[in-house]
Structure formats: C-alpha cells, structure tokens
Structure 1
Amino acid sequence: MKRLVVVPLALAVVITLGLGPALAWQCPVQWKAAEEAIKKAEAMNTPPEAKALLTEAKKFLAESKKHHNEGNAKIDHAHSMWKAKAALAQAEAAATISTP
C-alpha cells in the first residue's frame, strides 16, 4: 500500500522539477511563432484594422524580448511568454481579418 503512494508521488515531483527549466526555454519558440504570424499577416492585403493589430503584435513582441533579456526572475519569463503569445494572437487576428 505504501508503495502505491510513494511511486506516483515521486513521479509527480520529478515531472514538476523537470518542467520548470523546460518552460524557461520556450520564449524563443514563442517569438518565432509570433514573428512568422506577423510576416504572414503583413504579406496579405491588410485593412486598417489589421494594421493596428499588427502594430500591437510588434509592440508585444518587443516587450516580450525585453522581459526575457532583462529579467532574472521566473515572473519576467512568465511576462515574456504571455506577451509573445499575445503577439501571436494579435497577428493571427490580423490575418483572419485580412482574408476575403
């Protein structure tokens, strides 16, 4: 009975400890996705509303890189991640608006 509790608990600890560093290296992956989405949307015939979204996406991407490069704490990387994801969402929205 004791083994049934210890094994899953040990597995959970190993996964949790291994997940933190893995997430820290996701910022560049998120940037690349956002940059590709921005380029894709810019290549389309974008209406003024989409151009505003692309401007916001570029701003979020720049802020994301700033948080990542200047940050030392986990919260800085968390801010970098959500801003990169927001940039991706803005660019995808611009692409959606730009499709006929």
Structure 2
Amino acid sequence: MARLFRVLLLLPVLAALAVSPALAWQCPVQWKAAEEAIKKAEGMNVPPEAKAMLEDAKRFVAEAKKHHTEGNTKVEHARAMWKAKAAGAIADSVITISQP
C-alpha cells in the first residue's frame, strides 16, 4: 500500500518535469509567427502612427528571445510567450491599420 502511494505521488512530479521542456519549445513557434506578421506589415504601406507600433513589436520579439535563451524557469518562458504573442498581436494590428 505504501509503495502504491509513493508511485501515485511520484507520477504527477514526473509528468510536470516532462511537460516543462515541451512548453519551452513553444517560444520559438510564437516569435516566428510574430516575425512573419512583422515582415508582412513591413511590406505594406504603413501609416506614420503605426510605425511606432511596428517598432514595439520588434522590441517585444527581441525581448521574448532574450527571456527564452536566458530563462531557466517557467516564469521566464511564460514572459517569452506573452511577449511573442503581444508582438504578433501588435503586428496584426499594424496590418489592419495599413489596409485601405
């Protein structure tokens, strides 16, 4: 009975350890999507007020990459994810603003 209890207690810990590296692989996917949106926006006729937004998106991608490479914790990877997602959202907004 004690052995079963230990096994049941150990399973969630092992599952958490296996999942955390998998979550780290999502960071590059997110910032690559943001970079593609930024490139698409740069190819359009961007109005002056949206150029600052595009620069913010580029800065967020750079910060996301920094958090990913320097981060050893889940918090750092979470910061990388939200900054990459924010960069993508900003770039999508620039695309919307730039459309006639």
Do the structures match in fold with TM over 0.5? Answer: yes
The answer to whether residue 31 in structure 2 is matched with residue 31 in structure 1 is: yes
- Larger mean Cα displacement after TM superposition, 68-77 or 20-29: 20-29
- 1:4 corresponds in structure 2 to none
Q: What secondary structure is seen at the aligned counterpart in 1 of 2:44?
A: coil
- 2:8 corresponds in structure 1 to none
- 2:75 corresponds in structure 1 to 75
Aligned partners of 2:20 and 2:74 also within 8 Å? no
Letter aligned with residue 20 of structure 2: G
**Identity of counterpart residues, as a percentage?**
69
Aligned partners of 2:24 and 2:68 also within 8 Å? no
In structure 2, distance between residues paired with 1:62 and 1:53: 14
- 1:92 corresponds in structure 2 to 92
In structure 2, distance between residues paired with 1:94 and 1:49: 9
Give unpaired runs (5+ residues) of structure 1.
1-12
- Larger mean Cα displacement after TM superposition, 19-28 or 90-99: 19-28
- 2:3 corresponds in structure 1 to none
**Number of residue-to-residue matches in the alignment:** 88
RMSD (Å), alpha carbons = 1.8
The answer to whether residue 39 in structure 2 is matched with residue 42 in structure 1 is: no
- 2:60 corresponds in structure 1 to 60
